[in-house]
Amino acid sequence: NLGGLQVGEMQDYGNADYPLTVIVTPGEALSIKIIYPQERFENDTIERMLGHFKTLLEGIAINPHRRIQDLPLLTEAEGQLLLIAWNKTAPETPLKQCVHELFEQQILKTTSAIAVVFQEQKLTYQELNKSANQLAHYLQKIGVSSQSLVGICLERSVNMVIAILAVLKVGGVCVPLDPTYPQERLSYILQDTQLQTLLTEKDCQSLLKSETISQRILLDEQGSEIALEPKTNLDNPVSLKDLAYIIYSSGSTGVPKGIMILHQSLTNIIEHHQVKMSSARNFLQFAPFNFDVSYHEIFAALCLGGSLFIVPEDSRLDLAKLSQLLANNPIHKAILPVTLLQQLIETYSEETHLFANLREIISAGEQLQITPKMISVFKKLEHCTLYNYYGPTEADIVTSYTFDPNPELWPKYIPIGKPAINVQVYILNSHLQPLPIGVTGELYVAGGGLARGYFNNPQLTQEKFIPNPFSDNSLLYKTGDLARYLPNGDIEYLGRIDDVVKVRGYRIELGEVETILNQHPQIAQAIATVQGETAREKYLAAYFIPRPGETVNQVELRHFLENWLPDYMIPSAFVVMESFQLSPNGKVDRKVLPIPDKNPLSLTQNYVAPRTAIEEVLAEIWAEILEVERVGIEDDFFLLGGHSLKAIQLISKIRQTLEIEISVRQLFNHSTISQLTQVMIELVGNEGLLNEIAVTVQEISRLSPEEVQALLSQS
């Protein structure tokens, strides 16, 4: 008889000896007492627990033969809140146009306004549209039609934006091909997509060798031919359900997987900015063009009447150049990886005027940790709002968290917020049942941002995009992320179920790294994992067992990986193992893997000491940045634990100490002190002068602060 099932009033039973005590007394009526310390649990939390228990008992009474895990937990009120109220995210006036159409509409309002800026080059909305139209007409003339795949391999430039717009206007599908990617990775994408049309430039085309490409359009050499085409908009209907682009990301099987993004997802971004964000329009274009965030940046600017400021490649990971770009241009909005944002804050916390133009900063990529310096900086940036975004490529923007205007109220660890516009979020157990507030489960996503699935991979698509049990004729994307609802409706991210990791904002499938490692002819078994606690400290580490009788040269191993993996997926540490300890289920126990040595034996046993003043100064800088005892001139920066973030720090320190500009690419290509010294000699033009500068630096470093001040006073 369910009519007699009631929950009595809360009573105070005095002190609690345990974090949570539940006493169940059977009888004519089932008596349940929950004893808990009030400093640990809120009354509302306990009441929810009792409500869940009541719902469970009701389920047992109605369906006594069902398994416990198949019975519901949510009360009716909580189900209404989690499944419906918190997922009411549709805008009052939804957009029905694709982003290139929204851009064309914007031209009527902002014809002569600046649309895109790259170094000294500027294009108005009208100029950008005409150039994109001419290229689109040219593509149409050579046979590119609705949903044709078009490869785009270009350096960061205005041409990249023109190419993307042109492909979308003609109804094609953009397939970005990063010219910095390894040859093998590019070859795989070409093979997987069977691309027939490629937009590129003379310097990039040699990277892309494929028999399927029948049409190579060199934008830098065929510009005069393309300029003969009409400047008018195309009359070419494109549906929101059509594909817009395919992004290749890390894949667990050892090869990258192509994620098919719809026009609808891009329109969803514009709706989110219109409804949830301020009127700031000018956007920094920071993300690489082969990452989905770049499309977010481009169209959030161009569809809303703003200017897009493209960061030159040599400035993207150079803190000094990036901060000057922000300071010297009217850039109002920026999406920055968590690690880069933290690095900017740490480096320029006393120079907040550099960020005075910014009105909105969006942190993305991984868990954001609030530091005292971050609070101090944002207290001075009174007109700048900070947001935290969460969303895998397969689902675009999933949640957004808006920080309180008062930084003093910011918690140390930030939730990922509430569902974005046109997005529904569900936190479910392994049986796809919704979980109550505070209970950890897997995060699933539905709504306007979902991808179509994985290109040429129906099995993985079916595994990850499943029927939505809460809505007919729609799908849920299974993120693999653990999360829970907080009482105010915010969602807290709690890690991963699988072996996908985030390092410096990049999503990496450890399985892909391991597959490539295990292809090395001298390695018997290898695994990869992440070391470090905070986002700033995290790095990839590889552990491997050599084949019997084989010795693996770690420098050569890194070069082997460079042929297959992009820079961000190459481990920063390599550890030779005799065997792997297994867990009870027979898998490698990653928890007991040793922390990599800061001075690997394979490097230190071949130590070559600095010979000149400049090599000594560089060795001191490297040792400081890499946090190692000593560095030889033939030691590899990346094999000593270096990665892109530490490369930024190193370049900044070299500029500060020696007043010499080194690019990230120069460091990647010349990663030992002896090699980098030769680069610096070429830059300065005189080896003797370079060593004189180094000697002066060494002499100054030996002076006390008082002696330095005295010298400055004399001068």
Each residue's pLDDT tens digit, 11-34: 665 666 677 888 888 877 777 778
Q: Which residue would you say has higher pLDDT here, 384 or 18?
A: 384
Mean pLDDT, the chain, integer? 86
The token duo for 289 is 């063009």
Decide if pLDDT at 219 tops 90.
Answer: yes
Nearest CA to 393 among 245, 499, 538, 529? 245
341-372 burial, b if ≥16 CB within 10 A, otherwise e? bbbbbebbeeebebbebbbbbbbbbbbbbbbe
Q: Which helix (DSSP H) or strand (DSSP E) does residue 714 occupy? A: helix 705-714
d(CA 191, CA 474): 31
d(CA 96, CA 478): 27
Q: Which residue would you say has higher pLDDT here, 462 or 653?
A: 462
Beta bridge mates, 271: none
93-102, 249-258, 308-317, 689-698: least confident range: 249-258
Q: What is the mean pLDDT of residues 562-576?
A: 84
**Look-up: residue for tokens 């699935």?**
453
pLDDT score of 708? 60
* Segment 290-346, tens digit of pLDDT: 889 999 999 999 999 999 999 998 888 788 889 999 999 999 999 998 878 888 888
Decide if pLDDT at 455 tops 60.
Answer: yes
3-class secondary structure, 658: helix
Q: Which residue would you say has higher pLDDT here, 52 or 400?
A: 400
Q: How confident is the model at residue 204 (pLDDT cuts 50, 70, 90)?
A: confident
Q: Which residue would you say has higher pLDDT here, 389 or 29?
A: 389
Q: What is the DSSP string of 143-169?
A: T--TT-EEEEE--SSHHHHHHHHHHHH
What percent of the chain is predicted at pLDDT more than 90? Answer: 42
pLDDT score of 16? 63
Q: How confident is the model at residue 711 (pLDDT cuts 50, 70, 90)?
A: low
Side-chain-side CA neighbours of 465 within 13 Å: the count stands at 21
Phi, then psi, of 123 in degrees rounded to 5 = -125, 135
pLDDT score of 461? 95
Query: Residue 521 class from Cβ within 10 Å (0-12 exposed, 13-18 middle, 19+ buried)?
Result: exposed
Decide if pLDDT at 2 tops 50.
Answer: no
Query: Residue 86 class from Cβ within 10 Å (0-12 exposed, 13-18 middle, 19+ buried)?
Result: middle
Decide if pLDDT at 539 tops 50.
Answer: yes
C-alpha distances in Å from residue 393, one per residue of 163, 259, 261, 396, 459: 21, 7, 8, 5, 18
Q: Which residue would you say has higher pLDDT here, 629 or 528?
A: 528
Most confident option among 7-11, 326-330, 349-353, 500-504:
326-330
Range list of β-strands (E), 532-619? 539-546, 573-576
Q: Are residues 331 and 325 in contact, defined by beta-carbon separation less than 8 angstroms?
A: yes
pLDDT score of 11? 61
Q: Are residues 644 and 668 in contact, defined by beta-carbon separation less than 8 angstroms?
A: no
**3-state DSSP percent of the chain in helix, strand and coil, to 5:** 35, 20, 40
pLDDT score of 3? 44
Q: Which residue would you say has higher pLDDT here, 140 or 72?
A: 140
Q: How confident is the model at residue 601 (pLDDT cuts 50, 70, 90)?
A: very low
3-class secondary structure, 303: coil
d(CA 75, CA 247): 41
Decide if pLDDT at 559 tops 70.
Answer: yes
Q: Which residue would you say has higher pLDDT here, 167 or 663?
A: 167
Q: What is the mean pLDDT of residues 672-693?
A: 88
Q: What is the DSSP string of 153-210?
A: E--SSHHHHHHHHHHHHTT-EEEE--TTS-HHHHHHHHHHHT--EEEE-HHHHTT---
404-413, 425-434, 442-451, 496-505: least confident range: 496-505
Q: What is the mean pLDDT of residues 409-427?
A: 92
Q: How confident is the model at residue 605 (pLDDT cuts 50, 70, 90)?
A: low
Q: Which residue would you say has higher pLDDT here, 420 or 699?
A: 420
d(CA 191, CA 187): 6
Decide if pLDDT at 1 tops 50.
Answer: no
Longest distance between any two alpha carbons in the chain, whole Å: 97
pLDDT score of 15? 64
Decide if pLDDT at 99 tops 60.
Answer: yes
Beta bridge mates, 173: 149
